[in-house]
């Protein structure tokens, strides 16, 4: 049974597991401002989100806590505490196990009993989609996680581990819509269904497709590490999708309507008069899939661009505007001093 109390602190702060301390701090400050109770009076959802953000930052900003969280996942607080098959807190050292790879403590215990004499296997702590290949082309996902492409299969198993890893690189289209991939494991070829909404850093756990344990005669699991190819237009901004659209100076002053590509196709966006370069327009529900299966937002950043070449007539018009202009964007500079 999958545990429901696990909190992915990296996802909460909208950063990758390889994020630097500065990146974590930057995203924390941005989210804390957004969900601060003073700015969301009476909003219980914002208050709960603010508490989650603070909890995540408290762990990820502390090197020791983050190290334990990365290794032990949802059981990081119990890290280093011994466990005995006969009960009690002593007897068997579980410090070599990555609890975060298990859906529940019972799942960990069951695997531990099966591998007690062979040693602990090395596992990743990323949130994982557990995939059980079926017969006759059927398959089932038991958990939600992260993905990669069938290219570049690497055997990452150690001499004592029966688990294997492979890297899979997906296009944005395949990652967003979901796709079926064929993997050549050397001894066999398998097909894996990638569910919609995976991101870079996601993992897919395929049960029973790892190496054979010579003692137990049971096969380990195969883990697919997902990476997304860079996109020429879209990028991630936390849970949201970010893009930029250029507008001309006259469009920024007078306002305009532009067609903007989204993950679902093109939509018409109204750019209000007087918009400044760098301001963003929000397209609600047009972003990526969240862990809850909902859609995030797409942020459209407006960039005012000027033409490198203009006609003589255009130049005359710009000069006339300059001569008639009453707005001075630098008027405040006269008040600046040490």
| HEC profile of 127-186 | CEEEEEECCCCCEEECCCCCCCCCCCCCCCCCCCCCCEEEEEEECHHHHHHCEEEEEECC
Computed over every residue of the chain, the mean pLDDT equals 78
User: Which residues, including other chains, have CB under 8 Å from residue 162's CB and lie 6 or more apart?
Assistant: 121, 210, 211, 212, 213, 218, 219, 220
In a domain, 156, yes or no: yes
Distance between CA atoms of 70 and 64, rounded to whole angstroms?
Answer: 10
pLDDT grade, residue 295 (50/70/90)? very high
pLDDT, average across residues 146-168: 54
- The encoded tokens of residue 156 equal 């990452």
**277 and 222 housed in the same domain:** no
Residues 186 and 210: beta-carbon distance below 8 Å: no
Tell me the C-alpha distance between 180 and 191, whole Å. 7
Domain contains 146: yes
Do 226 and 159 fall into the same domain? Answer: yes
Number of domains the chain contains: 2
Same domain, 223 and 261: no
Q: Is residue 217 part of a domain?
A: yes
Q: Tell me which of 169, 203, 230 is where a domain ends.
A: 230
235 backbone dihedrals φ, ψ, rounded to 5°: -150, 165
> Domain containing 276 — which CATH number?
2.60.260.20
221 and 244 part of one domain: no
The helix/strand/coil state of 243 is strand
**Residues 193 and 269 grouped into a single domain:** no
Confidence of residue 290 (pLDDT cuts 50, 70, 90): confident
pLDDT for 255: 96
Structure tokens at 294: 């909902």
Contact 157, 221 (CB under 8 A): no
pLDDT band for position 46 (50/70/90)? Answer: confident
The pLDDT of residue 216 is: 80
Residues 320 and 254 in one domain: yes
71 vs 252: which has the higher pLDDT: 252
Q: What is the mean pLDDT of residues 265-291?
A: 94
* pLDDT of 124: 36
- Pick the more confident residue, 147 or 182: 182
Residue where a domain stops, chosen among 197, 230, 263: 230
Could you tell me if 205 and 241 lie in one domain?
A: no
Q: From edge to edge, which strands make up the β-sheet containing 240-247?
A: 235-237, 240-247, 298-304, 280-283
Q: What is the DSSP string of 289-306?
A: B-TTS-B--EEEEEEE--
Structural domain includes residue 137:
yes
Do 293 and 210 fall into the same domain?
no
Instruction: Check whether residue 243 and residue 202 sit in a common domain.
Output: no
Q: What's the pLDDT at 142? A: 40
Is 76 part of a structural domain of the chain?
A: no
**Residues 200, 250 within the same domain:** no
The predicted structure's pLDDT at residue 149: 35
Contacts of 324 (CB under 8 A, 6+ apart): none
Q: Which residues contact 326 (CB under 8 A, 6 or more apart)?
A: none
By residue count, the chain amounts to: 338
Could you tell me the residue range of the domain that residue 220 belongs to?
126-230
Task: Report yes or no on 55 lying in a domain.
Answer: no
User: 70-74, 212-216, 234-238 — which is least confidently predicted?
Assistant: 70-74
pLDDT at position 220, please?
A: 87
Tell whether 35 is covered by a domain.
no
pTM summary value: 0.53
pLDDT for 76 beyond 60:
yes
pLDDT grade for 226, boundaries at 50, 70 and 90? very high
pLDDT given at position 79: 57
Same domain for 201 and 157? yes
pLDDT digits (tens, 9 = 90+) for 181-214: 888 887 788 888 888 899 988 888 888 888 888 8
Q: Is the pLDDT of residue 256 over 90?
A: yes
Residues 224 and 247 in one domain: no
Is 39 inside a domain boundary?
no
Domain edge (last residue) among 183, 212, 230: 230
Q: What percentage of the chain has pLDDT greater than the value 90?
A: 35
Lowest mean pLDDT among 44-53, 93-102, 273-282, 325-334: 93-102
Task: Report the candidate in 164, 137, 167 with the shortest Cα–Cα distance to residue 149.
Answer: 167
């Amino acid at each position: 049974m999958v545990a429901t109390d696990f909190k992915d602190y990296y996802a909460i702060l909208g950063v990758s597991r390889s994020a630097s301390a500065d990146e974590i701090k930057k995203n924390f400050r941005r989210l804390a401002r957004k969900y601060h109770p003073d700015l969301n009076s009476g909003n219980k959802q914002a208050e709960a989100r603010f508490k989650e953000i603070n909890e995540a930052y408290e762990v990820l900003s502390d090197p020791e806590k983050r190290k334990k969280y990365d290794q032990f996942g949802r059981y990081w607080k119990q890290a280093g505490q011994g466990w005995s098959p006969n009960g009690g807190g002593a007897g068997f050292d579980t410090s070599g196990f990555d609890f975060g790879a298990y859906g529940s403590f019972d799942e960990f215990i069951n695997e531990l009993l099966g591998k007690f004499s062979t040693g602990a296997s090395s596992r990743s702590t990323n949130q994982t989609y557990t995939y059980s290949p079926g017969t006759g082309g059927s398959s089932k996902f038991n958990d939600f996680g992260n993905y990669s492409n069938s290219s570049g299969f690497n055997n990452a198993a150690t001499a004592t581990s029966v688990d294997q890893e492979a890297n899979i690189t997906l296009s944005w289209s395949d990652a967003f819509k979901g796709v079926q991939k064929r993997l050549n494991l050397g001894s066999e070829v398998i097909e894996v269904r990638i569910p919609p909404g995976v991101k870079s850093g996601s993992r897919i756990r395929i049960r029973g497709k790892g190496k054979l344990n010579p003692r137990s005669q049971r096969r380990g699991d195969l883990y697919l590490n997902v990476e997304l190819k860079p996109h020429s237009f879209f990028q991630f901004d936390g849970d949201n999708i970010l893009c930029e659209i250029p507008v001309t100076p006259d469009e920024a002053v007078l306002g305009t309507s532009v067609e903007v590509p989204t993950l679902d196709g093109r939509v018409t966006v109204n750019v209000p008069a007087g918009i400044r370069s760098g301001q963003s327009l929000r397209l609600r529900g047009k972003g990526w899939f969240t862990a809850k299966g909902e859609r995030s937002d797409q942020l459209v950043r407006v960039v005012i661009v000027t033409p490198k070449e203009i006609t003589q007539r255009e130049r005359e018009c710009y000069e006339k505007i300059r001569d008639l202009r009453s707005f001075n964007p630098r008027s405040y500079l006269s008040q600046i001093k040490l």
